Amino acid sequence: MQMTGNTILITGGTSGIGRALAEAFHDRGNRVVVTGRRQALLDQITAGRPGMVGMPLDLDDSTSLTTLAAEVRARFPELNVLIANAGISRTEDITGDSWDVSAAEAIVDTNILGVLRVVAAFLPMLKLQANATIMATSSALAFVPRADFPTYCASKAFLHSWLTSLRHQLRKIPVEVLELSPPYVQTELTGAGQASDPRAMPLSAYLAEVMQLLESKDHPRGEILLERDHARRWAERDGTFDTIYAALNPA
């Protein structure tokens, strides 16, 4: 992926890792289109940043993506980078009498179908560019799950597998496929408490490492993974899965 001179569209770009990526790429001289549900927040993020544009997108609304894709085709036909970052995370107690499948369905709809729909909407544009990239946000929990986030972790495992297949299918087309697999980072993904949790990695530190990996093209197999997360990535291969799983999920 080239680090400057791109036109980049980021879903889920109004907070957390998405917003940090938008600002980091904008600082490097890219045109960045940030999408999200709330227009006021989009206006706040793009204020004072020439070349950064906010466009509304609600992945729960079937017409919203169609409208966005049409507008992007008209205004930014040179779009060459798509970052599919929108995602939600919730704990689930499947043993509880009050558990129903609606929470899981919402996660699947956003984290899985949302990514597939966004890629389907913009891949035709990306295939026309000389240097194009699709990046989707997975999670280090795709490799060793936390049992209290069963559907969230499963959704990220799905993305890991799907992106591997997408990368293979696009191998003869100049569209690079990257998978961003963050650890536990100080964002509000699971609520306000995560943003200040000292156990979580500071967002600025995480983004600095990610940008360094991208700049040095240090992402074998298209996986943008911090060194500290390699143990989880290769737990099955290394025979350490049970030990790491037990540490993440105390009895």
> Tens digits of per-residue pLDDT, 82-122?
999 989 999 999 999 888 899 999 999 999 999 999 999 99
Is the pLDDT at 222 greater than 90? The verdict is: yes
Domain architecture of the chain: domains with CATH = 7-248 (3.40.50.720)
Name the burial class of residue 247, with classes exposed (0-12), middle (13-18) and buried (19+) by CB atoms within 10 angstroms of its CB. exposed
Name the burial class of residue 86, with classes exposed (0-12), middle (13-18) and buried (19+) by CB atoms within 10 angstroms of its CB. buried
**Residue 231 confidence (pLDDT):** 96
Mean pLDDT of the chain: 94
HSE (side-chain half, CA atoms, 13 Å) at 135: 27
Site of tokens 């227009």? 39
Mean pLDDT to the nearest integer, 62-80: 96
- The whole-angstrom separation of Cα 33 and Cα 233 is 31
End-to-end CA distance of the chain: 43
Q: Which has more confidence, 19 or 192?
A: 19
Is the pLDDT at 68 greater than 80? The verdict is: yes
Is the pLDDT at 145 greater than 90? The verdict is: yes
Smallest CA-to-CA distance from 134 within 148, 154, 120 is with: 120
Q: What is the pLDDT of residues 33-50, one digit of tens each?
A: 999 988 888 999 999 898
Give the other-Cβ count within 10 Å of 47's Cβ: 9
Is the pLDDT at 188 greater than 80? The verdict is: no
Q: Which has more confidence, 97 or 164?
A: 164
Q: Which has more confidence, 242 or 48?
A: 242
Select the highest-mean-pLDDT range: 59-68, 74-83, 84-93.
74-83
Share of the chain above pLDDT 90, in %: 81
Is the pLDDT at 72 greater than 80? The verdict is: yes
Is the pLDDT at 190 greater than 80? The verdict is: no
Is the pLDDT at 249 greater than 90? The verdict is: yes
Is the pLDDT at 191 greater than 90? The verdict is: no
- The whole-angstrom separation of Cα 213 and Cα 225 is 8
Is the pLDDT at 146 greater than 80? The verdict is: yes
Sheet holding 7-11, edge to edge: 52-56, 31-36, 7-11, 81-84, 132-137, 175-180, 223-224
Phi, psi (deg, nearest 5) at residue 106: -65, -40
The answer for 38, left when phi > 0, alpha when psi is -120 to 50, beta otherwise, is beta
**Residue 175 confidence (pLDDT):** 97
The answer for 8, left when phi > 0, alpha when psi is -120 to 50, beta otherwise, is beta
Mean pLDDT to the nearest integer, 129-150: 96
